[in-house]
Structure 1
Amino acid sequence: MARLETGWISRRIRARAARQWQRLLDKAQRRRGAVPDELRDEARDLQQVLTRYLHTIEIRSLGSRDSLSRMELPAGTDWRWRPEILRARNAMPALVAPVSGRWLSDEVALFHDCPQRAVILRQMRNRRATDLSDYALALEVMGFEGSFLSFSLGLPPQALEGLGGHHILRLATTLQSERAITVYARLNIQQGPNTEKILRQMGDPIEGANCSRLIEFDLGYADMSQRSVEKAWVDVIFESPFMNAVALRDVVLSRHARAQI
């Protein structure tokens, strides 16, 4: 497969396509009229593919130096995960005044009921020596008049394989906040038409930098059927977020078997 991607014919095809787009660019810069809608849509589609390709290969290149492999996790841990948006630059760096349910990436969506949408969710670079992930998620809230604000992290398919009541999901986070704020995490597990929800408060209110929190979701107490899990996600919920700035510096989810009693 690698030879096919880097072979002489493949390189010639990509080089020819690049020259064609360069000619289209030169023509667009010379012309005064509008560019045809078909070409504009084609360029947008190509940009999305290239951006996702660069994001994917950057994630792959980080595998050998990912700190996940060096973390101390419970015995029997069979899955660990740090969201890609915390590991590599995202194609869309920010959501400004978004409607509820808008996605920042394939993994992260923002939900709220603020009529003025006075919210910004963005990816930012972690630069401190103590940071374990390359990027963070920053949430800035201005005149918030809604009753709820949360963002969701969608779990990858690997987390759902064989997931059941014999598992514990462990959520380790590092947060910071300008003003004290209470944060909750809610695990949602979808099986057919039913969705089981487990809510946990993430310890004492978050205030200042480097607030580490560790919570566990024991699925032995969840009302789960024998059906396979179709979808799972974690909602990070902020209580009374008016005029505050919160950053999720790191998040690691892992899975291990619960003790049989």
Structure 2
Amino acid sequence: MDKVVTAGRALAGLTDGATLAVGGFGLCGIPATLIENLHRAGVTGLQVVSNNCGVEDWGLGILLADRRISRVTASYVGENKEFARQYLSGELEVELCPQGTLAERLRAGGCGIPAFFTPAGVGSQIADGGLPWRYAPDGSVAIASPPKEIREFRGIPYVLEEAIITDFALVAAAKGDRHGNLVFEKSAQNFNPLCAMAGRITVAEVQELVEPGELGPAEVHVPGVFVQHVVHAPDVEKRIEKTTVTEVGR
């Protein structure tokens, strides 16, 4: 089945209030083309699951700046000051969770596992509840995280974490074929394979489009069974989140 379509067609079913998993870590491996097209489409009220929310003028940051995102599930705030401002002023609901837990929640969703027990977060507000999800304008906590189930296994306490499944997932791959088999470049694997698995409808932008059969089985990081649409994006702008340089001769 040829899954290659335009970005507009791939995102046509993504409506206001949708849940959305987005691959990438900082600005590494983000589906910039798909995010730009989603921004132009004017969709709002998005509930996003992503490692972080990009920067003010790139990645998910462009959706955030236009108030298109209502809720974020992430592992850290990153370099996005607008993200922090909206969260602290009560404009944005934010669920922060440990990075490994977020990764496993996405993977579990893709594997059909509804929940799992992990030691990460035991003895903290992650398990006990009380983390501010949304602040009120006066700075008080309007919505706090609920307590989670704790169970002991072999005398060690574990906290129950629910899997994540989203309406859509947007990912970026270095290479992909028309059947949706994907290959990611080095550290751009980060959250992309996990998000691809967690979406009910997964859209992958690929920099290099190849024909079925050109990818060896051992090359494939995400099989096409997880991908519904492929968008060819050969000329994607790539940015560095924070540049650190050394003067020549020093």
Q: Does the TM-score normalized on the shorter chain lie above 0.5?
A: no
State the TM-score, normalized to the length of structure 1.
0.18
Please give the TM-score of this superposition, normalised by the length of structure 2: 0.19
Higher Rg of the two aligned structures = 1
Q: Which has the higher strand share?
A: 1
